[in-house]
Amino acid sequence: MSGAGPHVLYLDHHATTPVDPRVMAVMEPLFTERFGNAASHTHPIGWRAEAVVEVAREQIAEALGAGDPRTIVFTSGATESNNLALLGAVRASRRERPHVVTVATEHPAVLDPCRVLEAGGVRLTVLPVADDGLVDPAAVAGAIDDDTVVVSVMAANNEIGVLQPLDEIGRLCAERGVLLHSDAAQAVGKIPLDVEELGLDLLSVSGHKLYGPQGIGVLYVRRQKGGKRVRLEPLQYGGGHEWGLRSGTLPMPLIAGLARAIELAQAEREEEGARLAKLRELLWMELRAGVPDLLVNGHPTRRLPANLNVALPGARAEALLSALHDVAISSGSACSSARPGPSHVLRALGLSDERIACSIRIGLGRFTTEDEIHRAGGRIAEEARKLREGAPPPADPSGGVR
């Protein structure tokens, strides 16, 4: 099941994933036969809808290691969750000149709200990463001061798949009494992730990244930190839903689908992770056979098992993607594809413009088969060779790639 049509190999699972049929089976009757508004408290239809939502809330809290279902706030997805976490925490702090710390390789859904805060007078520290994409926990510790409200570090990068050292960062944030937020859209159900073990105070989740529906997500909000209530200022008003943090009618079928998707991902995580890691290694070998000077971007091992971000010297990604009408891959984040210019993630790694221009992101998925890997690897290598043979000599005598 590629989900992209009979002739297209879908290898862009970091952008979105198809809804698992087992998730659809849970959602379908909730749209028609068992519909309802969870806020309708005067009749059985509403009570039944509310029960579906609260069971899902409990399931998700347990899956994230949260325990308390009141920590689960339903949103439209990780972008809204990130905005609510960052804007909400800073605005609720009531500090004269609050401070936020984040990382240069974060998703635009984190960096953009941080820039909005900065434009409003908030001090912002954007930490660099090493050439493998990892941030130094010591740099995080050095950036925190008495006015720091929140540190935001993503669990797994959406372009290069790098896994940040959240355990170390969580410990130092706890020691300093600073909130730690993580955009975990790419991580939940794919790597071990427990909010208590990692010391996370705010965590963003998106359903469509883990074979659930689009349009639904979660923000985990710790109840207390250091004996004080964790407070957020809401972004929208009107009804006081979700303990006043996110007003609006809850999409009950999507919530049930999200809970089932997380449940399945967690249950199958280890086996599926091992399978995807083997397929990724197979794809790497297929590509290397056709493009011997292939280069990997990001940490070679500390990354999501389904992620492969590589540079194919001499084969520009834009031309390669145009030629690959039968293979769905990308050159970076789907959420920033409308923005011209090189990937900010790859640039943060210190890569040359030429190497960035020749880089592609491949995301394997639950329904990816070994046969598809062979076919996709062959097609990518074939089109890359054609481009290299017809490419003009590089301007840089050294080859123009790093």
Residues with active-site annotation: 335
Nearest to 209 by CA among 1, 395, 23, 396: 23
Going across the sheet that includes 99-103, the strands are 72-75, 217-221, 202-206, 179-183, 148-152, 99-103, 123-127
Structure tokens at 42: 């005067």
d(CA 162, CA 109): 17
Contact 308, 296 (CB under 8 A): yes
Instruction: Establish how many alpha carbons lie within 13 A of residue 76's alpha carbon, considering only the half-sphere containing its beta carbon.
Output: 10
